[in-house]
A and B are shown apart, each in its own frame.
Chain A
Amino acid sequence: MMDSLYMPYLMRIERITYEAPGVKTFMLKFVNEADQEKFSYKAGQFGEYSVYGVGESTFCIASPPTRKGYIECTFRQTGKVTNALSGCEEGSIIGFRGPYGNVFPLDDWKGKSLLFIAGGIALPPMRCVIWNALDLRENFKDVTIIYGARTVKDLVYKDELKDWELRKDVKLVTTVDPGGESPDWKGEIGFVPTIVEKIAPSSKDTIAIVCGPPVMIKYTFPVLAKLGFTDENIYTTLENRMKCGFGKCGRCNVGKVYVCKDGPVFTLAQLKELPDEY
């Protein structure tokens, strides 16, 4: 019997990491080794994660393709499926189908500097690219990461943030919204766009990858433009509600562009061609 497009891989939850209130990371391994062997993906792609009996939910693959043998996803407990996922334990079996969508063109970025700007729960889709780039560190010049969250508690990947902070080949700037700091907070205080303006990273030979809530993105783009970034050198990844992930269920399109097939990765130049429907 032939497997249909809708048939998920069976995945075992190998490890659960508590990231922030309501936010968890699952490390997932393929139950069937044969599936693992034929599976490959690139940074920026996403999948449909499912709890059998509850449904499917769309998130990016948050681990880099340079780390083999597993994938990771990070999600916030908000809807029906993410609540059910949150109730899963290590060893539980969930479904995964993918990878879907286009990719961040890391090959084209060789020799350039990378500026990552992320807000809140939007670090996960970027984390895949960050680690992919750091695992191939010699391919890139400066790597700068600016990451902000509402409060100190809401910062995800706290251990990795420490790791990036200690690395000499990464410049990490973390910030929290005013009022979100703790007494011992040593990072910046302020909204992400303000901090980008303050740090003023160079746009010379630099690709900016921006991911965050709409309001953060909206105010960050003009700051980047002021710093001299062109629309072609600014990348982001869109999310829209999806069911199938491969251009059939009909809901993720922005005008004639399908986020699942043509995206989720877009340059600012491409976004400007789209109607305001995302």
Chain B
Amino acid sequence: MNIDKRLVRKDSLEKLFDILKQNSKKIYAPFSKDGKTIFKDAESFGGILTGYVQTTESSKDIVFPRTEKILDYTKSKEGMSVKGIDLKDIPDVILWGVRPCDAIGIGELSSIFNWDYKDEIYNNRLSKVTVFGFSCYKSDDYCFCTSVGGNPGNTTGSDILFTRLGENGDYLAEVLTEKGESVVSIAPGIFEKSETAEKEKFLAEVPVKFNHEEIKEKLDKFFESNEWVKQSLRCLGCGACAYVCPTCACFDIQDEAHGKRGSRTRCWDSCGFSHFTLHTSGHNPRDIQSARWRQRIMHKFSYMPERLSVYGCTGCGRCSRACPVDMNILENLISIQEVTL
């Protein structure tokens, strides 16, 4: 398909924001809060950040909220009434300022939530989201998107990908999907014709650090390696890596009761937690932290590629930035690649 390339003037972004607001879209965009860069419901254009390498948390909670009601129940004398969530209540959302490594992560989440059983709650949320990707013109030492098949200007997962054409420059807008086209159609004046603009020279440079296919092959024979113990000795099992990850989808299901009423919720969980796999009997199949660390890496770089044909890592580097004991996934992957079996 020929990508529809447009030019969006720097000053037009605010106009685009206002037009979308007038069309009653909710816009989630990156803002600064308590030293973090977070996505939040943007009331106005002012304050939306642009210069960040990466938001502190990924944008996944727009499609897979941290805690999400899956049903409500009411007990009465007559019996029990149970109601699922009304998917019609999910608002149309523009996800503004998503980096390509987050946008591609949405596809990886979708693979999990549609593995044979289609998760309608997730799919409905996703159907209401239009992703405005913003290419990276900056990167840091934690970034490794190019080692897992991505790149700083990757279009996958975005409905429109914006690339800043130089400092204080205008934006190249690649309109990639029908959702993207429908944005163009409500703001036609904003998206000017531009067949000539090239983005490559304006993108951040992220050198390739390892070969993910080689790592996958290695992992097939790596289960019993002592490397897992070495890598995870300092792991606290805090789960921060999973919470900031754009593709971690493990969840728990918990009930909340308030008298005769209550709800069942689906909430984020982490394979790093010791009770994640704990049986009621006390038996725990992953009873030590190294087994849990191994699960994290194997799931992303071996099990997911094999079962779902996607990698569970986009190279965003957030887990390393967030780790309180400075574990670095990039270093760990490189050391797996370097170990001789």
Q: Is B257 touching A2 in the complex (CB atoms < 8 A)?
A: no
When chains A and B are docked, how far (Å) is the Cα of A278 from the Cα of B287? 10
Nearest Cβ distance between residue B225 and chain A, in whole angstroms? Answer: 12
Q: Is A250 touching B269 in the complex (CB atoms < 8 A)?
A: yes
Chain B: number of interface residues, binned into ranges: 35 or more
A95 nearest CB neighbor, chain B only: B82
Majority SS of interface residues in chain A? loop
B84: chain A residues at CB < 8 Å are 1-4, 6-7
Q: Does A33 lie at the interface of the complex (its beta carbon under 8 Å from any beta carbon of B)?
A: no
Nearest Cβ distance between residue B13 and chain A, in whole angstroms? Answer: 37
When chains A and B are docked, how far (Å) is the Cα of A134 from the Cα of B73? 40
When chains A and B are docked, how far (Å) is the Cα of A201 from the Cα of B303? 39
Contacts known (A247-B115, A255-B223); A52 close to B255, Cβ less than 8 A: yes
User: Which of A243, A252, A261, A275 is in CB contact (< 8 Å) with B252?
Assistant: A243
Q: Does B15 lie at the interface of the complex (its beta carbon under 8 Å from any beta carbon of A)?
A: no
Q: Does B41 lie at the interface of the complex (its beta carbon under 8 Å from any beta carbon of A)?
A: no
Q: Is B280 touching A82 in the complex (CB atoms < 8 A)?
A: yes
When chains A and B are docked, how far (Å) is the Cα of A100 from the Cα of B269? 22
A245 nearest CB neighbor, chain B only: B117
- CB-CB contacts below 8 Å: A1-49 with B: 1-8, 10, 31
Chain B interface: which of A53-61, A111-119, A169-177, A223-231? A53-61
Q: Is A249 touching B251 in the complex (CB atoms < 8 A)?
A: yes
B266: chain A residues at CB < 8 Å are 6
Q: Does B6 lie at the interface of the complex (its beta carbon under 8 Å from any beta carbon of A)?
A: no
When chains A and B are docked, how far (Å) is the Cα of A79 from the Cα of B279? 9
Interface centre among B85, B253, B295, B298 (most CB of A within 10 A): B253
Nearest Cβ distance between residue B137 and chain A, in whole angstroms? Answer: 35
B156: chain A residues at CB < 8 Å are none
B70 nearest CB neighbor, chain A only: A6
Q: Is B280 touching A7 in the complex (CB atoms < 8 A)?
A: no
Q: Is A8 touching B255 in the complex (CB atoms < 8 A)?
A: no
Contacts known (A246-B117, A247-B116, A277-B286); A4 close to B280, Cβ less than 8 A: no
Q: Is A93 touching B303 in the complex (CB atoms < 8 A)?
A: no
Chain A: number of interface residues, binned into ranges: 35 or more
Q: Is B82 touching A52 in the complex (CB atoms < 8 A)?
A: yes
Q: Does B206 lie at the interface of the complex (its beta carbon under 8 Å from any beta carbon of A)?
A: no
Q: Does A254 lie at the interface of the complex (its beta carbon under 8 Å from any beta carbon of B)?
A: yes
When chains A and B are docked, how far (Å) is the Cα of A11 from the Cα of B70? 19
Chain A interface: which of B32-40, B165-173, B184-192, B270-278? B270-278
Q: Is A2 touching B87 in the complex (CB atoms < 8 A)?
A: yes
User: Which of A1, A55, A243, A250 is in CB contact (< 8 Å) with B271?
Assistant: A250
- CB-CB contacts below 8 Å: B109-124 with A: 112-113, 115-121
When chains A and B are docked, how far (Å) is the Cα of A50 from the Cα of B119? 20
A8: chain B residues at CB < 8 Å are 82
Q: How would residues 244 to 263 of chain A score, 1 for a CB under 8 Å from any chain B CB and 0 otherwise?
A: 10111111111110100100
A31: chain B residues at CB < 8 Å are 79
Nearest Cβ distance between residue A255 and chain B, in whole angstroms? Answer: 7
User: Which of A52, A79, A82, A250 is in CB contact (< 8 Å) with B262?
Assistant: A52
Q: Is A6 touching B285 in the complex (CB atoms < 8 A)?
A: no
Nearest Cβ distance between residue B319 and chain A, in whole angstroms? Answer: 16
Q: Does A78 lie at the interface of the complex (its beta carbon under 8 Å from any beta carbon of B)?
A: yes
Q: Does A218 lie at the interface of the complex (its beta carbon under 8 Å from any beta carbon of B)?
A: no
When chains A and B are docked, how far (Å) is the Cα of A56 from the Cα of B280? 13
Q: Is A275 touching B253 in the complex (CB atoms < 8 A)?
A: no
User: Which of A52, A55, A248 is in CB contact (< 8 Å) with B119?
Assistant: A248
Q: Does A241 lie at the interface of the complex (its beta carbon under 8 Å from any beta carbon of B)?
A: yes
A4-B119, A4-B121, A256-B298 known; 16 new pairs, CB 8 Å cut-off, are A5-B120, A6-B266, A7-B71, A7-B82, A10-B82, A52-B82, A53-B257, A55-B253, A55-B264, A56-B255, A93-B79, A95-B82, A246-B116, A248-B251, A253-B299, A277-B286
10 nearest A-B pairs in the assembled complex, by CB-CB distance: A53-B257, A250-B250, A79-B280, A246-B117, A93-B80, A256-B303, A6-B70, A52-B73, A53-B262, A78-B280
